[in-house]
Amino acid sequence: MRTILLAFDGVHFSEGSFNFAKQLNEKNKILLTGVFLPQVSYANLWTYADGVGTPMFVPAIDDNETQLIEENIKKFEDLCMRNDIEFRVRKDFSDLALPELKKESRFADLMIIGEEKFYENMGSGNPNNYLRETLHSIECSVILVPEKYTFPTLNVLTYDGSESSVFAIKQFIYLLPEFCTNPTFLTYANIDGAGRIPNEAYIEELAARHFPDLTISKVNIESKSQFATWVADKKASIIVAGSFGRTAVSQLFSRSFVLDVIKDHKIPIFICHK
């Protein structure tokens, strides 16, 4: 049984992320932990610079927000019981929410986040600063889920020859074996006339053992932003990426293949970094 975290900004309930967890449970039973983070947490410990080194501060949680969080916890509990999902609830993190979330992730197999709802009112950019910081700091794999999507029946494995991209593919295999029978594209994005797929024989040997319906493709695109356009044609898919390293946070994120896909809010994305 997998242990899965479902992370909520407490006042915003993500129907999309819960439905994804529900469908995973229907295939193989899970232990689902709902983590309800208060708005106040961003004022402490984990801060994300706005470009000049100034942290973002958030007003303390008020009574209305407390009521909304309690209502969302009750909704989560009711939905879990209705759908026969074993569950736990984590709350009352006070102003140390994200450090506690990081600790929770250390002991979990997987985290699911509703990308559109997670602190949607905080920070500029898409994804917002809070989500960026969370992706770079948590210690387990994560699936970003839009609110409206088709549950995946097709896998898109993004491969660039790097250690992190191979690690992400292996973690996807281990954590989500029910997806391995889906038709699968192992995709190498050929930018600026790059040559052959790096270590092609090795990655094919690995992938073909686990994905019986495998297609290896080299996609010729002029820029990384075009990847979102290419993958948009792959209906009912999930993207597997290992591009969110813990160092040089803003530089790595701005270069990521999946950034434009996140902005489109259409396709679930499995992200893993070592």
Q: How far apart are CA 272 and CA 110, in angstroms?
A: 10
- Give the mean pLDDT of the chain: 79
Superfamily holding 2-145: HUPs (3.40.50.620)
Domains 2-145 and 154-271 share a fold: yes
Strands 214-221 and 184-191: parallel
For 4-54, the pLDDT digits (tens) are: 999 887 678 999 999 999 999 999 999 999 998 876 544 443 443 333 333
User: Where do the domains of the chain lie?
Assistant: 2-145, 154-271
Residue 126 one-letter amino acid: N
Starting at the earlier edge strand, list the strands of the sheet with 237-241.
86-90, 30-37, 2-9, 110-114, 141-145, 269-271, 237-241, 154-158, 184-191, 214-221
Q: How far apart are CA 117 and CA 260, in angstroms?
A: 17
Q: Is the pLDDT of residue 207 over 90?
A: yes
Provide the pLDDT for residue 191.
57
Coil, strand or helix at 40: helix
Q: How far apart are CA 256 and CA 239, in angstroms?
A: 13
What DSSP element (H or E) covers 152?
none
Provide the pLDDT for residue 110.
96
Is domain 154-271 annotated with CATH 3.40.50.620? yes
For 109-166, the pLDDT digits (tens) are: 999 998 877 766 555 455 566 777 778 788 999 999 989 999 999 999 988 888 888 9
- In the beta sheet, which residues pair with residue 143? 112, 270
